[in-house]
Structure 1
Amino acid sequence: MSIAVPVRAPRWVSRRRIFEQHLADLHKCKNLVHIKQVFAQILKSDLHSDLQVAAKLVSAFSLCHQMGLAIKVFDLIEEPNTHLYNTLIGAHVRNSQASQAFATFLRMQSSGLPADNFTYPFLLKACSGKSCLPLVQTIHSQVEKFGFRADIFVPNSLIDTYYRCGPLGVFGARKLFSMMVVRDTVSWNTMISGLVKVGELNEARRLFDEMPVKDAISWNTILDGHVKAGDMNAAFELFEKMPERNVVSWSTMVSGYCKVGELDMARMMFDNMPVKSVVPWTIMISGYAQKGLAKEAIMLYDQMEEAGLIIDHGTVISILAACAESGLLGLGMKVHTSVQRTGLTCNTLVLNALIDMYAKCGSLDKALSIFGGMPEKDVVSWNIMIQGLAVHRHAEKALELYDRMKQEKFEPDGVTFIGVLCACTHAGFIDQGLDHFLEMGRDFGIVPQIEHYGCVVDLLGRGGRLKEAFGLIQSMPVEPNAVIWGTLLGACRVHNDSEMAAEVLDRLVKLEKSDSGNFSTLSNISSAAGDWDGAASARFQMRSSGIKKPPGASSIDVDDEIHEFTAFDTSHTESDGIYQVVATLRMDLEEVR
């Protein structure tokens, strides 16, 4: 009797097979240590000349922002093919190295290798902004010349890139779309999205209505367009018609209602969401914070944490920005505690947002403490801290920090100099401020923008050098706006120069015909100078134009709640008690007199 003996599978597997298994997902790997280990094994096994292996390594190193190693891998290949060139071009684009991407493309062409239908979409991703339009048009001509328009992926990429060139690229996108014999859903969505981005909502809606087959992206894109236009009635009407709503749809509606100040509708939408990610929670909390509703914001933030949602840096930055805008220190501190607990304290963007929040809320010591303890600073970190110190009138500290910034080899940018000039303005360092203004272009090649000119006008105006300020405005290479003239008008009031004030107001009225504050300021200047006819004339102009000066407003934070008041306001729930206290204080003051 014969006995069947089981046959054992051979244990031997080729090294090539082992590495294929290891390399299967290497192009998606972001663990640099692991990639380097695999690279060492590849070199040891003499597989570095394999084109597929090289492409995966180039992608992996580029994901870790190690372009030097990616290029090293590429250079090990004696005869790269189009696929490997495309991979390196894409790697450069991914790492914001547009010029290197095009240099690689030219090298590919000089080697005699033809581009394919993946080459041009990679190059198009490197193009953005109106300055790139001629380059995009050149790529488009190449696409037409070599017949790549037949691959729908290529014209779709072209349409998207044309819109990234701003309003000037719209014509190219429209023309290409109209020439396309075959269009897929992506083609339509790209056109609609592009039109929404450049503010052509009506045309975008027309295309949406003509679209033969719509998907969730189509609906959400046009919904976002109506929301960005502030047309929440049209947005809600569209929302109700949607065959399917996802988290993006609901979040867009919540965001829209928050932006137009309809927080009750926003909260209703939020509460009715079938599924909530961290995004709608962030939107709703930020919406409350921006309106100064600290109790509602804190309560919802607590609920988000109780729901077990893990906050990311986007959530933190968004909420902290809202806290900074409204001065909600309590909520900002609560978010800071969460940041410490979740280990986000190593994220430079998060730490910058914390410094900004504390600085704008007046807690400069806390802001300086975080700034000093940052493991890695960037230019934004320095700018926020310099600006925070300057705004709160710690001019000398702000300027010392600016000097330290340069000593530590951080190159200032335009934002840096706004903070520096602001510091000089508050401290009255006129000549030093003018030196820094000249330093911008002389030492750093920064072209002054209108904001910088505004700072210098303020600097000169506060110092009483009104004629210099006026002369600077007239010599500006850009057209002065209402803020510039308004700054000088304010300086005229401080120094009681009614003659220059009248001239400034004449320029200002042409830009802001409906601003009553300008006439009111001139009237006050004239009164202070004893020019009663001029004061009366300014008041008459204000009345005859039908302009009314809006009442001033003030706000105060009490128990994590912002209370806003205007002159003769009775809308506050405690207004009766408030006015009784004011009346009592008035009587007490009269007794003291």
Structure 2
Amino acid sequence: MSLPIRPPKWTSHRRLLEHHIADLHHCSSPSHLKQIHAQTFRSNLHQDPFIAPKLISAYSLTRLIPHALNVFDQIPHPNTLLFNTLIRALTHNALHEKAFLVFFRMQKDGVLADNFTYPFLLKACGGQFGLRKVEMIHAHVVKLGFLEDIFVPNSLIDSYSKAGSLGIASAKRLFDEMPRRDVVSWNSMIAGFVRAGELSEARKLFEEMTERDTVSWNTMLDGHSKAGEMDKAFELFQRMSERNVVSWSTMVWGYCKVGEMDMARMLFDKMPLKNLVPWTIIIAGYAEKGLAKEASCLLDQMEETGLKPDEATVISILAACAESGLLGLGMRIHSYIENSKLGFKIEVCNALIDMYAKCGNLDKAWSVFEGMRERDLVSWNSMVQGLANHGYGERALELFDKMVAEGIKPDSVTFVGVLCACTHVGLVEEARRYFTSMRKDYGIVPEIEHYGCMIDILGRGGLLGEAFDLAKTMPLEPNAIIWGTLLSACRVHNNVNLAEEAVDQLINLEPSDAGNYAILSNIYAAAGRWDGVAKTRVQMKHIQKPAGSSWIELDDSLHEFTVGDRSHPHSSRIFKMINRLGRHLKQVGYVPKVF
């Protein structure tokens, strides 16, 4: 009697490990992932060409890049797949410079790039400052003959178009030279024109694409139908609808972006098929413009069609509410989140904290923050910045200390919030200590926002000479915001000479801004320099100052008020109340400064 043949124990263990690794894209637990990694070491499988890329991808999804690099470093002779996987992981985590360093090592090691390498690398070339890198990659692609793979030129078009007006000409030239285009090519080009603000060109291309696309797809659809191949016809119809949604959505987004909501709505209403993406775009567009009723009405209509807001939808709408200050709509979205499973997602909670903080409801922001099961750096940053911006400087700094004590490493955004907190409570020495700590303790190079905060702190504290010295010696060129901050400090402390210096700098940067002259005029008046007032007033005559405005949300509507504007239906009642408040202020001793 023969015994059944069983596989060796190590073989079954390997199969079990491979089963776990195959499902790693579902793994959201860093501790579970580390356990699987440890098992690969025990089984001597950490150099397996199948397992290593999976581990790198999994660590990328959980933001554990040092562990991903460790996996890569364990491979003595990495192949193209492994290099590509690491480049993709680094770009996914916004480590763009490191992605290029890996690419340069790939070349140095003599490992050949393929048609996947360059699209992954192009993801690290965002913005106009990446244009030279895009051009370098384009040269590589042409030299190696990868333009024949439509995936590569499509990625190039997308990267060129993301460089704005500087790259749109190169994108269009590449698009025109392509012997074969697919819907991604068209959509990338349309999106590029939208980003560059060339909506007329985008609309022209959109109409050309829609006409061509409809004719070609209808021909294929008709062919399958006549042949009785209804399964293929239905599949083609679904693909055609999906392709159209992207193009239409891009155009709706473009008009929302430039504030042309009537055109955006017209295109949205004409869409042959709508999924969550265009609904999200149009609702967020209305919310960002402060049109709460329109946004709420569309949200109702979307739910009536059977579509439910997903994570991307609620985050987009909350971001728009934060931008415009629509607290009412933001609270409605919060109610929906609480009745769904979205409230457990860190990104959603972060968007809620940001919305409540920017709308001025710190209690609600704190409640969301305190109720989070897990927090990431964005959670802490949003709360620190929210507290700092609303005058709770001490609480913001206490929260920062707690964050560091819990092992969360701050970044440059954190220190903007910390320095703002010091500004609002006048902690000059503490600000100096934090500013030094940035580079010394955390290796963070101060950016212009950090210098701006320090200059603001010094200026508010009356240390105008030190503030001006810092502006002149900082390694970055001071912008209009920094010189404007210095000018405001000069107004507070009535320093005419330094104010004149700040205005000279501002005139070079913003020659058409009359507000700078107005501040200088007030400084002259406060110092009794009426000759300076007269001279400044003459200069202001040649510049048209835009009327100041403010707004307030009431009953889900945003009411905007402009200087001297009486178009509001209740303007007479509003001005009566303003006059009454003015009389009350005079009775308690307030005397307005009129220059």
Q: TM-score range by the shorter chain?
A: 0.7 to 0.9
CA contact (8 A) 2:245 2:274 kept: yes
1:475-554 map, 5 Å: 475-543=473-541, 546-554=542-550
In 2, Cα distance between the equivalents of 1:222 and 1:359? 37
| 2:359 match | 361
CA contact (8 A) 1:266 1:284 kept: yes
Name the SS of the counterpart of 2:13 in structure 1: coil
State yes or no: 1:71 paired with 2:67: no
Answer with 471-480 or 321-330: which moved more: 471-480
| 2:451 match | 453
| 1:372 match | 370
CA apart distance, 1:519: 1.6
CA RMSD of aligned residues (A): 3.0
Change (3 A) 1:411 1:269: same
Change (3 A) 1:94 1:375: closer
> Given the alignment, which residue of 153, 172, 177 partners 2:141?
177
> Given the alignment, which residue of 556, 561, 565 partners 2:557?
561
Name the SS of the counterpart of 2:560 in structure 1: strand
In 1, Cα distance between the equivalents of 2:69 and 2:425? 49
Q: Which has the larger radius of gyration?
A: 1
CA contact (8 A) 1:290 1:323 kept: yes
CA contact (8 A) 2:131 2:160 kept: no
Answer with 157-166 or 355-364: which moved more: 157-166
> Given the alignment, which residue of 109, 134, 159 partners 2:76?
109
In 2, Cα distance between the equivalents of 1:443 and 1:590? 55
Name the SS of the counterpart of 2:564 in structure 1: coil
CA contact (8 A) 1:159 1:176 kept: no
- Aligned residue type for 1:569: D
Change (3 A) 1:187 1:438: closer
> What is the TM-score of this pair, normalised by structure 2?
0.82
> Given the alignment, which residue of 245, 248, 260 partners 2:246?
248
Change (3 A) 1:337 1:86: closer
CA contact (8 A) 2:84 2:117 kept: yes
CA contact (8 A) 1:156 1:190 kept: no
In 1, Cα distance between the equivalents of 2:368 and 2:338? 12
In 1, Cα distance between the equivalents of 2:55 and 2:568? 65
CA contact (8 A) 1:48 1:76 kept: no
1:51-130 map, 5 Å: 54-61=17-24, 63-64=26-27, 65=30, 66-77=32-43, 82-92=49-59, 104-105=71-72, 107-109=74-76, 118-126=81-89, 128=91, 129-130=96-97
| 1:227 match | 194
In 2, Cα distance between the equivalents of 1:492 and 1:141? 56
Name the SS of the counterpart of 2:457 in structure 1: helix
| 2:222 match | none
| 1:304 match | 302
Name the SS of the counterpart of 1:246 in structure 2: helix
> Given the alignment, which residue of 113, 138, 153 partners 1:188?
153
Change (3 A) 1:158 1:305: same
Change (3 A) 1:163 1:378: closer
Name the SS of the counterpart of 1:212 in structure 2: coil
CA apart distance, 1:197: 2.4
CA apart distance, 1:486: 0.7
Name the SS of the counterpart of 1:48 in structure 2: helix
| 1:167 match | 131
| 1:578 match | 571
CA apart distance, 1:586: 4.3
Answer with 437-446 or 241-250: which moved more: 437-446
In 2, Cα distance between the equivalents of 1:91 and 1:61? 6
Change (3 A) 1:390 1:303: same
CA apart distance, 1:580: 6.9
Name the SS of the counterpart of 1:562 in structure 2: strand
Change (3 A) 1:104 1:188: same
Change (3 A) 1:163 1:435: closer
- Aligned residue type for 2:35: L
- Aligned residue type for 1:377: R
In 2, Cα distance between the equivalents of 1:520 and 1:319? 38
Q: Which digits, 9 at most, give the CA deviation of each residue in 1:259-287, with x for residues without a partner?
A: 11110111111112222111111111111
In 1, Cα distance between the equivalents of 2:551 and 2:17? 62
1:128-527 map, 5 Å: 128=91, 129-130=96-97, 132-140=99-107, 148=112, 154-162=114-122, 164-165=124-125, 166-181=130-145, 183-199=148-164, 200-242=167-209, 243-244=213-214, 245-527=243-525
Name the SS of the counterpart of 1:164 in structure 2: coil
CA contact (8 A) 1:192 1:208 kept: yes
| 1:7 match | none
CA contact (8 A) 2:99 2:121 kept: no
Name the SS of the counterpart of 1:47 in structure 2: helix
In 2, Cα distance between the equivalents of 1:250 and 1:373? 39
In 2, Cα distance between the equivalents of 1:588 and 1:409? 51
In 1, Cα distance between the equivalents of 2:409 and 2:79? 41
Name the SS of the counterpart of 2:559 in structure 1: strand
- Aligned residue type for 1:71: H
Change (3 A) 1:342 1:162: closer
- Aligned residue type for 2:312: G
CA contact (8 A) 1:481 1:511 kept: yes
In 2, Cα distance between the equivalents of 1:102 and 1:74? 16
In 2, Cα distance between the equivalents of 1:584 and 1:375? 47
In 2, Cα distance between the equivalents of 1:336 and 1:234? 39
Answer with 501-510 or 578-587: which moved more: 578-587
CA contact (8 A) 1:235 1:253 kept: yes
| 1:4 match | none
CA apart distance, 1:530: 0.5
CA apart distance, 1:177: 2.7
- Aligned residue type for 1:319: I
| 1:19 match | none
CA apart distance, 1:525: 0.5
CA contact (8 A) 1:57 1:73 kept: no
Change (3 A) 1:455 1:82: closer
CA contact (8 A) 1:61 1:69 kept: no
Name the SS of the counterpart of 1:118 in structure 2: helix
Change (3 A) 1:441 1:229: same
Name the SS of the counterpart of 2:449 in structure 1: helix
In 1, Cα distance between the equivalents of 2:98 and 2:406? 33
CA apart distance, 1:127: 5.0
CA contact (8 A) 1:127 1:161 kept: no
In 2, Cα distance between the equivalents of 1:477 and 1:61? 45
Aligned length: 537
In 1, Cα distance between the equivalents of 2:255 and 2:499? 42
CA apart distance, 1:345: 1.6
CA contact (8 A) 2:55 2:68 kept: yes
Q: Which digits, 9 at most, give the CA deviation of each residue in 1:11-58, with x for residues without a partner?
A: xx9988xxxxxxxxxxxxxxxxxxxxxxxxxx97851246xx654433
Change (3 A) 1:169 1:290: same
Change (3 A) 1:524 1:274: same
Change (3 A) 1:445 1:87: closer
Q: Which digits, 9 at most, give the CA deviation of each residue in 1:445-475, with x for residues without a partner?
A: 3332211121121112112221121122223
Change (3 A) 1:508 1:106: same
